[in-house]
Amino acid sequence: MGNSRSQSGQKFCSQFLPEEQAEIDRLFDALSSETHSPRTSPRSFSLKALKSHVGEALPPEMVTRLYDGMRRVDLTGKASKPSDSVSQEQFTVSMYHLLKGNSEEKSLVILKMISATECPVKAREVQKFTEDLVGSVVHVLNYRQELRGWTQKRGPGPPSRVQVLAAQLFSEMDLRGGEKLPGPQQLDCECDRATIEDWVFRAPHVATFLSVVIHRGFLLLRSSLDLATLVPERHVDPERVFESILDVLSVIYVNSHLRREQQGRWRLLFSSELHGHSFSQLCGRITHQGPCVLLVEDRDGQVFGGFASCSWEVRPQFQGDDTCFLFSISPRMAVYASTGYNDHYMYLNHGQQTIPNGLGMGGQHNYFGLWIDVDFGKGHSKAKPKCTTYNSPQLSAQENFGFEKMEVWAVGDASGSQQAKSSKSILDVDPEAQALLEISGRSRLSEGLRDVPEDE
């Protein structure tokens, strides 16, 4: 039996680089060197040993799930029950499946982490697993101090952001061939291996989050995981105390829909909390700053926003392209991409008398998917039944909403934007002053006299 197990494990050993396999072997040796119980063989480890190694880095429930998933791996196909401990071959095979395997291989271990019974499992068991997984990601990033400036959680009361993101991931599962069922009936559905495999393929965050849990929870193959594209670095003026509307999970979710070069760094451009309730301030701080994410929390507590794929410019025409999108964070997480129906992606106007003044995304004049009025603190989200540009529903609790909190974040590298901003006059950053000057018939004497910024 020992030979057959060794041959089975050997196949998966060869999938790791030599230095990776050496690190996996060292961790197994450390785990198996713990005091053995009478039921634990010398070349295996117990749940107690794994919990001792992980400590407080992961919640106990997730450590138990991982341990059960590993000990339930049947290397011979003949086991009548799970083993009492985890062998070296089971450990290696499980690490390969979870870290390097395809959707089918990952689903094998995930199913064993969800339930001790054979397939199928209940959808409610998958839902609970998803909540445990999302919660473990926040837990381990916080424990390892790798939140990159973001907070672990924000705001009291249900549903928590863990539950909201878990619900979004769970919604990616195709139950009953796509048939929409009421909540209780949906949770009673049975999920076989093919359903879980399809879900892992549809929702790549599931595999990514498992990698985070193992790499950061076990402190195993840490260099294999680039957190920079998962959690962007948060840049805010260090002299200002600031609590964002966003928490780390909502940032991870929105960030995952950006291009890779935009994912590493978010820089605060505007916050109503820091810069005041002023549309002029908003315009002055967000124009000519490259792609950015804007979001609003309405007075009913719903959080939503949009991604602008290019620099905002004050002008009466629509701008942007089909990589713009709208999104919601609370009470549910969702992204609404371009439909191709029209090109009304972005709109920013100020100081006009005949057309709307404000910031909008999607829809049309006076009927935007997301609108921030020049009378700052007011907006609307109109969609009956959906926004034509983004196919988004009404994002706010009320069609015409009020808000106190708004933020805009530049995403990706600043490149030349900071230099360009520093070369602007007060008229550039105060559209109200510019508009008043133009209405009075006076020219901008400084126009044309400043140096043209060099292209980078």
DSSP 63-116: HHHHHHHHHT--SSS--SS--SSEEHHHHHHHHHHHHH--HHHHHHHHHHHH-S
pLDDT of 456: 37
Separation of alpha carbons 26 and 428, rounded Å: 60
Domain regions of the chain by residue span = 18-218, 242-411
Separation of alpha carbons 97 and 107, rounded Å: 9
Tokens of 294: 């804007």
pLDDT of 105: 95
Q: Measure CA of the first residue to CA of the last residue in the chain; give whole Å.
A: 65
Separation of alpha carbons 234 and 18, rounded Å: 36
Separation of alpha carbons 293 and 92, rounded Å: 41
pLDDT of 285: 97
Angstrom CA distances, 115 to 74, 95, 121, 202, 298, stand at 15, 19, 7, 21, 41
> Is-contact 294 308, C-beta < 8 A?
yes
- Quick one: which of 249, 208, 218, 165 has its CA closest to 54? 218
pLDDT of 116: 87
Tokens of 59: 């919640």
Separation of alpha carbons 127 and 129, rounded Å: 5
pLDDT of 449: 39
456 residues of the chain, pLDDT tens digit each: 444 444 555 566 668 999 999 999 999 999 998 755 555 566 899 999 999 999 999 999 999 999 999 999 988 777 768 889 999 999 999 999 999 999 999 999 999 999 988 779 999 999 999 999 999 999 999 999 999 999 986 555 567 999 999 999 999 998 766 665 556 778 888 999 999 999 999 999 999 999 999 999 999 999 888 898 899 999 999 888 889 999 999 999 999 999 999 999 999 999 999 999 999 999 999 999 999 999 999 999 999 999 999 999 999 999 999 999 999 999 999 999 999 999 999 999 998 888 899 999 999 999 999 999 999 999 999 998 999 999 999 999 999 999 999 999 999 987 654 444 544 444 554 544 554 444 344 444 444 434 444 343
**Helix, coil or strand: residue 371:** strand
Could you tell me which residues are beta bridge partners of residue 121?
191
DSSP state of 184: H
> CATH says 18-218 is which class?
mainly alpha
Q: Calculate the CA 364 to chain-centre distance.
A: 29
pLDDT of 450: 40
> Is-contact 334 445, C-beta < 8 A?
no
CA 411-414-420 angle, to 5 degrees, is 130
Residue 141's contacts (CB-CB under 8 Å, 6 or more residues apart) are 147, 152, 212, 216, 227, 231, 248
pLDDT of 94: 96
Strands 44-45 vs 86-87: parallel, antiparallel or unpaired:
antiparallel
